[in-house]
Amino acid sequence: QQQVKQSPQSLIVQKGGISIINCAYENTAFDYFPWYQQFPGKGPALLIAIRPDVSEKKEGRFTISFNKSAKQFSLHIMDSQPGDSATYFCAASRYSGAGSYQLTFGKGTKLSVIP
């Protein structure tokens, strides 16, 4: 049972274009929705995150849009650059007790930005 569904699996965007990655979740216990960026040979690194009481969060060229009623959220990368080429993971977090949070990841989107 996949609790966080992510699409598309891969994405090719021209430099300067907009990259859009979508995610949907099922468990209403999730209360934190981060996006992670992973370069080859590296660990995932937090890019931007949102809480369900906010519908949009913007940090530089990266924006998360969140639709609580539809249980969907998306990442928009404006003015995409070749350096943005990486694998992007959406995730959903819920408190597991004793100070521990469980991240459930989507399956990832491999983004390639071509010059």
Partner 1 sequence: DTAVSQTPKYLVTQMGNDKSIKCEQNLGHDTMYWYKQDSKKFLKIMFSYNNKELIINETVPNRFSPKSPDKAHLNLHINSLELGDSAVYFCASSPTSQGAGNTEAFFGQGTRLTVV
Binding residues for partner 1 (CB under 8 A): 31-32, 34, 36, 38, 41-46, 49, 51, 87, 89, 93, 95-105, 107-108
Closest C-alpha among 38, 39, 34 to residue 91: 34
Contact 36, 49 (CB under 8 A): no
Cβ distance to partner 1 smaller for residue 17 or 105: 105
Cβ distance to partner 1 smaller for residue 13 or 91: 91
- DSSP annotation of 32 reads B
Cβ distance to partner 1 smaller for residue 40 or 83: 40
**What is the H or E stretch that residue 107 is in?**
none
